[in-house]
Amino acid sequence: MDNRQAIGSWLSGPRAAAEEMGVDFGYPGQRLGLPQSGPGSAARFGRRLGAVLIDWIGCQLIAYGLITHGDLAAAGNWTLALFLSLTLLTVGTVGFTPGKRMLGLRVIGQGGGRLGIPRVVLRTLLLALVIPALIWDRDGRGLHDRLAGAVQVRI
């Protein structure tokens, strides 16, 4: 007996098999009450990754050129310190970092509105650990956003 359709193949995974059997997972952000597309919809992984890269590269250039004066060995720690400071200050005040703003993203509370300072601090500390940001749910939120009660949306 061939039960591959019920079990799912190793190529398509269990989600594809469940969808073939009629399970509706909805779109990312539907469980949070967000629209499917356009402003206010859940940010996709590519945009979020691009925003982090823009912020990281900017912090690295500042650390390398202005703080360590070309000392590449010392620039790594300064880059991390600048990145965490940038994230704390900008997400805590305006809701986005320069990279997020450039790519049209904003961090809001799960129920809408701004994040409080304690939640921004928790989110930033978890982001510094990297691993929580790489684990995300079906709404596209990283574990750091989920634990802090935040969601990244398109502007």
Question: Which pTM value belongs to this model?
Answer: 0.84
Other beta carbons within 10 Å of 150? 23
- Give the pLDDT score at 12: 67
pLDDT at site 103? 97
21-55 pLDDT, tens digit per residue, is 777 788 999 999 999 999 999 999 999 999 999 99
Residue ranges in the chain whose pLDDT is less than 50: 1, 8
> What's the pLDDT score for residue 1?
46
Angle (nearest 5°) at CA 64 between 61 and 70? 140
Give all strands (DSSP E) within the chain, no chain letters. Answer: 105-109, 150-154
Token pair for 17: 């098999």
What single-letter amino acid sits at 117?
I
Eight-class DSSP state of 65: I
Q: What per-residue confidence (pLDDT) applies to 7? A: 53
Q: What is the C-alpha to C-alpha distance for residues 46 and 36, in angstroms, rounded to an integer?
A: 17
